Amino acid sequence: MFDFLSKYDVLGAFWVTVQLTLYAALGSLIWGTILAGFRVSPVPLLRAFGTAYINIVRNTPLTLIIVGTLLGLSQTLGVTMGTNVLDSQNFRLATLGLIAYTSTFVCESIRSGINTVPVGQAEAARALGLGFGQVLGVIVLPQAFRSVIAPLASVLIALTKNTTVASAIGVAEASFVMNNMIENESDKLFLVFGVVALGFVVLTLPTGLILGWVAKKVAVKR
């Protein structure tokens, strides 16, 4: 019943999914934190940029962004992402698109975390003579991060599933192999769906459980 699976590199495809998720998660955590910094900064221009970026990118469908990286960035503007091999170029473009998109959600999560830190903390830090960077980096963000582990876990799970959109530009991740299987094994449609769905559950369920435990562990007790 499951012997058709041996014809396809299902594990390899899920490995690509994992790689996409990890790179995009790392990138969007960094870029999202910077964006959150922009949004609470005292410089009006940075605040305006952060707000505009988030409202535009967050409200654009992910498929549009991913396909846009290929058709617009790569094929029209000629950005090659430092490689001539199509497969790795597509992988990098997809990672870039995922970072651009996911970072908006990361940013808003972190910003909500910043709001959980009592104003007195920042005021006390300023009274001690710390500058904006120090207040944010040393006092506010460490406390903010500890309270947003659970929402960030949700973002990470959403990101894991969003990687399937990368197949739109030919990255050979899980849903790409699924499409190949559907084309060739049309008699086993539901089995194919089941296998891929199970693969995603295996990836996302532990993510949620572990990060949920971590969130409880590190939460700031107030």
Partner 1 sequence: MRLSRLARAGVAVVSLAVALTACGSRDEGSGSLVDKAKNDKKLTIGIKFDQPGLGLQTPGGAYEGFDVEVAKYIAKELGVDANNITWKQTPSSQREDMIANGQVDFIVATYSITDKRKQKVDFAGPYFIAHQDLLVRADDKSITGPDSLSGKKLCSVQGSTSAQKVKDKFPQVQLQNVKGYSECLTGLESGAIDALTTDDTILAGYAAQQPGKFKLVGKGFSDEKYGVGLKKGDTKGRDAINAAIQKMETDGSWKTAADKYFGPSGYTVPAPPAITEK
Number of residues that bind partner 1 (CB under 8 A): 25
Q: Is 183 an interacting residue with respect to partner 1 (CB under 8 A)?
A: yes
| Candidates 20-28, 50-58, 81-89, 207-215; binding stretch for partner 1 (CB under 8 A) | 81-89
Residue 181 to residue 195: CA distance in whole angstroms: 11
Q: Is 164 an interacting residue with respect to partner 1 (CB under 8 A)?
A: no
Residue 193 to residue 174: CA distance in whole angstroms: 11
Decide whether 94 or 114 has the Cβ nearer to partner 1. 94
Q: Is 168 an interacting residue with respect to partner 1 (CB under 8 A)?
A: yes
Q: At 80, which amino acid appears?
A: T
Residue from the set 10, 20, 35, 169 that interacts with partner 1 by CB under 8 A: 169
Closest separation between CB of residue 102 and partner 1, Å?
A: 21
Q: Is 3 an interacting residue with respect to partner 1 (CB under 8 A)?
A: no
Tokens at 195, concatenated = 């296998």
Residue from the set 5, 67, 130, 191 that interacts with partner 1 by CB under 8 A: 67
Residue from the set 59, 119, 127, 186 that interacts with partner 1 by CB under 8 A: 186
Residue 168 to residue 90: CA distance in whole angstroms: 10
- State the angle between helix axes of 10-40 and 189-218 in degrees (0 to 180), rounded to the nearest 10: 40
Q: Is 121 an interacting residue with respect to partner 1 (CB under 8 A)?
A: no
Decide whether 36 or 168 has the Cβ nearer to partner 1. 168
Residue from the set 179, 201, 202, 220 that interacts with partner 1 by CB under 8 A: 179
- Work out the burial of residue 47: count CB atoms within 10 Å of its CB; fewer than 13 is exposed, 13-18 middle, 19 or more buried: middle
Q: Is 74 an interacting residue with respect to partner 1 (CB under 8 A)?
A: yes
Q: Is 83 an interacting residue with respect to partner 1 (CB under 8 A)?
A: no
What is the secondary structure of 38-55 as a DSSP string? HHHSS-HHHHHHHHHHHH
Residue 29 to residue 158: CA distance in whole angstroms: 14
The 3-state DSSP class for residue 150 equals helix
**Strand ranges (E), the chain:** none
Query: Which residues would be at the binding site for partner 1 (CB under 8 A)?
Result: 67, 70-71, 74-76, 78, 85-87, 90, 167-170, 176, 179-180, 182-187, 189
